Structure 1
């Protein structure tokens, strides 16, 4: 016999859960003791929303489920934004929280299943002692097999209840990949037979299905170029035929080449407005084929749609191409020189830096010149996101942790850096934030410093909500609502134990080289006072269009 809190911790540890993040309160402090007592590593966060973002980022970098644990009531409601981001992104995480007693709600309780269901995320509840461990195992299994966060509510009167018996076993799940019917790909194959300029676009679904290798093989066979969505950055890293990121972040020369494609086959990509750059990227006559599992994938611009797993479909398409004996395209050979010069690093610009403020392009390009290639880039949301997306490529999609993309949030960057650093301590964590998001999520900077993780924090500080200033200022917005006085981020970071400097010019980056030479100890914080007048290309295109 063992109390439920202890049995839950032991069960999850036995099933391979290694890390948890949380904030303790009366509803979960004993549950957390059960986790740590079973050997699960626990990082105390400063806010429940931060703990949720940490578990989210951990999954993005490792593919493994981590735990976020909160108390009941406000402990759970505090994770709403981060839980929604994780749900929309599709991050496997297990939220373990306290809950109202089994007999019903008290005055300070809420209907937690209804609250979580509005996000929506699956909710399970340990209703009685006989099934509590079965429910725990089911919750973990659901988070793993569906790659989404699952909330496990444990009533307060159940936490110390005694349970007996062994925890149920999770048996390996049968493959959920539906075999591709060759006939479903006939229209795509016909389009390939007619295409002179094919391009393969890979999204996050392609990465998750393990399609990278077969997509490269398919591209080599048909003579296609490659591109990725932002979330699949790095999938084709190292290929001379990769145009980098497809969409609003595409470099101008890369975008021009994309615009000359007459067939784009998208694997595991949602094809939202940003990816298609608001219909400004593709030639009007180009055929756009979408191969994805998502139910809501179809949009008007899609010419051909196939419901299939990206990896299975790519392999079936490769076999069909070989069976038909289709000749490869030669267009990429004709464009070899142009492709080699298509990246952002080959784009010139007039440096707008002054004695007191640095151009964000110059800043980020300079960092790219000294940082190791093996890195995890964590992005918060905001106007600044184009600069690290331009100049800081990542080695594979798990190294791109864009915490604000799915739900258009800001404020999760510091917490995301904690989860990424815990998940992949072998790679340098580079966290990029705007000043607005940095102040919103500031408590988790203390957590990042406290964990001792090797991390470089770059704050693009324009003392404003830059997106809103540039987007809505010309439309008559009162900019006093979006602009602020200067913040001494370096002073704040030093007070929390980080090494920190204020960066106003390139010469101020000397500390980065020194820190790298010392082995990247702890957290280095760069408070970068950037020129506010430099507008990201994706935003200027939005404003113009």
Structure 2
């Protein structure tokens, strides 16, 4: 069969039942064949959005996301979103292709290898038509294993050549490092440091959820008499637990800040220990750090660990529990009992109502109002911007694997498409996208894609008529922050024009109408929440 038909079938054989993209000369033949063979091809309006959709899809499903764009401007348009996926370590394959060799001065010729290098992705170029299917299957398996996105170059020259398709259905399974090679002295060393610590604290990241280790970590913390904290991507772990002090880092609560400051030993489990989590290492300074993760790349990114162990997180934690119980080494609970009292007594946003202004809503109050009316069973995806602070603090996430953000590259405007990909992955739940007005304006036309597919998507725009981070930073530099103010069109009207439901909020009472829209299932729904750029939203 022709190579383009075989590519479509090979994708389906590999379990890729949804693909995201924008068709052009480099990919339209196999994209059309993929549709005809029963695959779901989600047509984006912009190539970058298609990559963000594949990124969001992969994050929600835990499987490989696949996007396809054309050469030249197609691939350059995709670069920002592709870089986000690389830095998020999303298993993703981006299919593209060189321009026809018979036209050496083709107007869309571009160096695909250079794009992959710039993004930090792996690059594979099929060198012959008969290698295309092999390279495609290898790319899917490899990105699932390494979590490093791959740009696969299938030159247009090969698409019309005849190839032989040998179906090889193969499930794409992410490998987890077993404990078989874990030396007992590594466990003994970690155990000794934990038992000798006066005030240990357990920091859990998304790897705990991926390993199914939450219950084991709670048991271990109880034996250690240690409070629990999470990374941003671990939000939702230990929800409602009386010893959960919340986020570890600059976004933490005052209770969490005190617990971290008092701790002399931090047990880090399944986290990347980014500079945001550790405040560039400052929060770990002078403390013993025991760090366990299944991902060697995470362990290699920090030098703050006293002991670093590459292992399956659940297996490691269970070994520690077994050793503590065998030695009957349960620690006193006075420290965590004290912390539990502080957590119970803590009242976020106390007195905030006194700061409300007519015609605008404080972002923190808005997020707390959203938290009450949004479906509890939801995915949450955030864009990038100043608004993140109240969202990360006040919008609850009940399960860490239902939360993600498009912030790894620091670009605004990627959140909506990422949320669309997440919603395509699972339409049984509502997907909630939180964005600022600048990011929303950059991406709002992609709402058309959500409308066309009838997705259960809610977009909440925290609209302070500014590029908020720049507004804040200009003021910090002593410059006039009003240079960052913008006048936008009516976002709710734009949403309605695109076929969605639009709603504007200028007072907390307006959320009652939003709740009615949600209850009635009027999605996709865009909620334009009018906020004040001058408000100081740094306080918890």
Report TM bin, short chain. Answer: over 0.9
Conserved? CA contact 1:352–1:358, under 8 Å: no
> Alignment partner for residue 447 of structure 1, among 435, 438, 449?
449
> Alignment partner for residue 371 of structure 2, among 368, 383, 387?
368
- Of residues 456-465 and 259-268 in structure 1, the stretch that sits farther from structure 2 once superposed is 259-268
What whole-Å deviation, never above 9, does each CA across 1:90-114 have from its counterpart, x for those lacking one? Answer: 1112211132346795443122123
Report the equivalent of 1:197: 199
Report the equivalent of 2:152: 152
Conserved? CA contact 2:245–2:255, under 8 Å: no
Inter-CA distance 151–253: structure 2 relative to 1 (3 Å threshold): same
Inter-CA distance 365–171: structure 2 relative to 1 (3 Å threshold): closer
Inter-CA distance 502–127: structure 2 relative to 1 (3 Å threshold): same
Aligned length: 534
- Of residues 4-13 and 204-213 in structure 1, the stretch that sits farther from structure 2 once superposed is 204-213
Asked if 1:524 is matched to 2:525, the reply is yes
Conserved? CA contact 2:13–2:167, under 8 Å: no
RMSD: 2.4
Report the equivalent of 2:114: 114
Report the equivalent of 1:515: 517
1:336-347 equivalence runs, <5 A: 336-342=340-346, 344=348, 347=350
- Of residues 251-260 and 103-112 in structure 1, the stretch that sits farther from structure 2 once superposed is 103-112
1:35-114 equivalence runs, <5 A: 35-101=34-100, 106-108=105-107, 109-114=109-114
Inter-CA distance 348–230: structure 2 relative to 1 (3 Å threshold): farther
Shift, 1:172, TM fit: 7.8
Conserved? CA contact 1:50–1:444, under 8 Å: yes
- Of residues 170-179 and 362-371 in structure 1, the stretch that sits farther from structure 2 once superposed is 170-179
Q: Distance in 1 between matches of 2:151 and 2:281?
A: 38
1:302-451 equivalence runs, <5 A: 302-330=305-333, 331-342=335-346, 344=348, 347-404=350-407, 406-451=408-453
What whole-Å deviation, never above 9, does each CA across 1:426-445 have from its counterpart, x for those lacking one? Answer: 22111110011111222212
Q: Distance in 2 between matches of 1:14 and 1:168?
A: 6
Inter-CA distance 449–242: structure 2 relative to 1 (3 Å threshold): same
Report the equivalent of 1:207: 209
Shift, 1:22, TM fit: 0.7
Q: Distance in 1 between matches of 2:103 and 2:292?
A: 47
> Structure 2 unaligned runs (5+)?
none
1:453-468 equivalence runs, <5 A: 453-468=455-470
Report the equivalent of 1:277: 279
- Of residues 498-507 and 349-358 in structure 1, the stretch that sits farther from structure 2 once superposed is 349-358
Conserved? CA contact 1:503–1:509, under 8 Å: yes
1:94-243 equivalence runs, <5 A: 94-101=93-100, 106-108=105-107, 109-168=109-168, 170=170, 176-177=177-178, 179-243=181-245
Conserved? CA contact 2:384–2:406, under 8 Å: yes
Shift, 1:334, TM fit: 3.7
What whole-Å deviation, never above 9, does each CA across 1:388-423 have from its counterpart, x for those lacking one? Answer: 21221112122112011x111111011012011111
Report the equivalent of 1:26: 25
- Of residues 469-478 and 95-104 in structure 1, the stretch that sits farther from structure 2 once superposed is 95-104
Report the equivalent of 2:270: 268
Inter-CA distance 394–143: structure 2 relative to 1 (3 Å threshold): same
Shift, 1:183, TM fit: 1.4
Shift, 1:40, TM fit: 1.4
Q: Distance in 2 between matches of 1:368 and 1:470?
A: 25
Report the equivalent of 1:3: 2
Conserved? CA contact 1:298–1:305, under 8 Å: no
Report the equivalent of 2:534: 533
Q: Distance in 1 between matches of 2:475 and 2:346?
A: 32
Give the TM-score normalised by structure 2: 0.92
Inter-CA distance 114–7: structure 2 relative to 1 (3 Å threshold): same
Shift, 1:3, TM fit: 1.2
Give the TM-score normalised by structure 1: 0.91
Inter-CA distance 342–266: structure 2 relative to 1 (3 Å threshold): farther
Shift, 1:169, TM fit: 5.5
What whole-Å deviation, never above 9, does each CA across 1:471-495 have from its counterpart, x for those lacking one? Answer: 2323134535422124311111111
Paired residue secondary structure (1:453): coil
> Structure 1 unaligned runs (5+)?
none
Shift, 1:287, TM fit: 2.4
Shift, 1:379, TM fit: 0.2
What whole-Å deviation, never above 9, does each CA across 1:160-192 have from its counterpart, x for those lacking one? Answer: 221114144648877644632221233321221
Shift, 1:295, TM fit: 5.5
Shift, 1:66, TM fit: 2.4
Inter-CA distance 240–127: structure 2 relative to 1 (3 Å threshold): same
What whole-Å deviation, never above 9, does each CA across 1:291-331 have from its counterpart, x for those lacking one? Answer: 23226645465443334443333233333333444223412
- Of residues 406-415 and 147-156 in structure 1, the stretch that sits farther from structure 2 once superposed is 147-156
- Of residues 48-57 and 98-107 in structure 1, the stretch that sits farther from structure 2 once superposed is 98-107
Paired residue secondary structure (1:442): helix
Report the equivalent of 1:496: 498
